[in-house]
Amino acid sequence: MKQRFYASIALLLVAVLTAALLCGCHSKPENSSDETSSVGSVPTTESDSNSMPAITPDESSGDTTPNGTNGSVAGTEKSTVTSNQTKPPATSANATPSTAPQTETPPKEHTAASFTACSINTSQLGTFRYWLYAPSDPTENMPLIVYLHGGSGKGDDLNLITAVDGFPQYLQSGQLGDVRAYVVIPQLPSTQKGWVNAAESISELIDHTVSTYKINRNNISLTGHSMGGTGTWNLACTYPSLFARIAPLSGSIRNTPDIIDNLKNIPVRAFVGSADTIVPPDSSKEVIAALKAAGGSAEITVFDGADHFSVPSLTFLDTNIDLIGWLIGG
């Protein structure tokens, strides 16, 4: 009997312990959550490089701004550039900014001399770029000088002209002093072989300049060097009544009856170097002699021993020659 009693007690204890264990497995800790976590359910913070758009340099200011934004980065305000504005090139602290052509020209009423990059739209060549020199304190009926550059100045960057051509350099730097005339220096596009292909555009540029400023239409002079010297001869033949006087430097011209007839009523001063192997001086000498024979006012200066590229400085910087004074009409 005792053995059976103890066996029953033992079975009862086993049952109680088993029940207690089962209840413990299904109970929750006091601090547990009702939700179970799974992979990816916990929010993660991405790095800034993944959450921000790609950053690229802004060409107009050198700042870095997010693609597709018009905001600011690190408190630096970003100026936006619209489609009809020209982005200025980024420059270093010591760099000299490039002068970009503008459609704006100096006002009609101005006091200080200026040398400005400009452009107009012409029927022959479309956009036609040019330098404009405006004298200080212009009076009524100012003269106009048109200068045609040489072959190295062709292109769509006006700085090519002032980098390689003598007269524009002298004018821009102030070496010629206060020139008492307006001066336009057009740039021939690189697609054109010579100035003969830009005659209409030059005529339109002259009309535009004369109508904008205090210029005497009867006192317009034409000059140029090398390809520009040849262009001076040819343009004067095309528009013989447009120019009051011409001064071709190191240019080439054919000696034909039609050319002599067109030029005989225009005062001419030609300048050449005797050692010029690029544009030999013979054609200029022949045409000057023919113009004199036809009763024209023509003279030629031959610089003894001078090569092609020496002629501009020998001409424009010599106060005894005073070509600027002659072109102005003095």
Pairing outcome for strands 55-57 and 268-273: unpaired
Query: What are the residue boundaries of the structural domains of the chain, listed by start?
Result: 114-328
Q: How far apart are CA 113 and CA 135, in angstroms?
A: 4
Class of domain 114-328: alpha beta
What pLDDT shows up at residue 51?
Answer: 33
pLDDT band at 324 (very low <50, low <70, confident <90, very high): very high
Q: What is the 3-state secondary structure (H, E, C) of the chain?
A: CHHHHHHHHHHHHHHHHHHHHHHHHHCCCCCCCCCCCCCCCCCCCCCHHHHCCCEEECCCCCCEEECCCCCCECCECCCCCCCCCCCCCCCCCCCCCCCCCECCCCCCCCCCCEEEEEEEEECCCEEEEEEEEECCCCCCCEEEEEEECCHHHCCCCCHHHHHHCHHHHHHHHCCCCCCCCEEEEECCCCCCCCHHHHHHHHHHHHHHHHHHCCEEEEEEEEEEECHHHHHHHHHHHHCCCCCCEEEEECCCCCCCHHHHHHHCCCCEEEEEECCCCCCCCHHHHHHHHHHHHCCCCEEEEEECCCCHHHHHHHHHCCCCCCHHHHHHCC
pLDDT band at 113 (very low <50, low <70, confident <90, very high): confident
What pLDDT shows up at residue 108?
Answer: 59
What pLDDT shows up at residue 144?
Answer: 98
User: pLDDT by residue (tens digit) across 258-305?
Assistant: 999 999 999 999 999 999 999 999 999 999 999 999 999 999 999 999
User: pLDDT by residue (tens digit) across 217-247?
Assistant: 999 999 999 999 999 999 999 999 999 999 9
Q: How far apart are CA 244 and CA 211, in angstroms?
A: 18
What pLDDT shows up at residue 49?
Answer: 35
If phi over 0 gives left and psi between -120 and 50 gives alpha, with beta otherwise, what is residue 301? Answer: beta
pTM reported for the whole predicted model:
0.69
pLDDT band at 164 (very low <50, low <70, confident <90, very high): confident
pLDDT at 70 over 80: no
Choice among 22-31, 106-115, 210-219 with the minimum mean pLDDT:
22-31
pLDDT at 5 over 90: no
Of 189 and 69, more confident: 189
What Rg do the C-alpha atoms of the chain give, in angstroms? 41
pLDDT band at 11 (very low <50, low <70, confident <90, very high): low
User: Hey, which residues does 116 pair with through a beta bridge?
Assistant: 132
Q: How far apart are CA 300 and CA 253, in angstroms?
A: 14
Q: How far apart are CA 232 and CA 195, in angstroms?
A: 8
- Determine what percent of the chain is predicted with pLDDT higher than 70: 66
What pLDDT shows up at residue 132?
Answer: 97
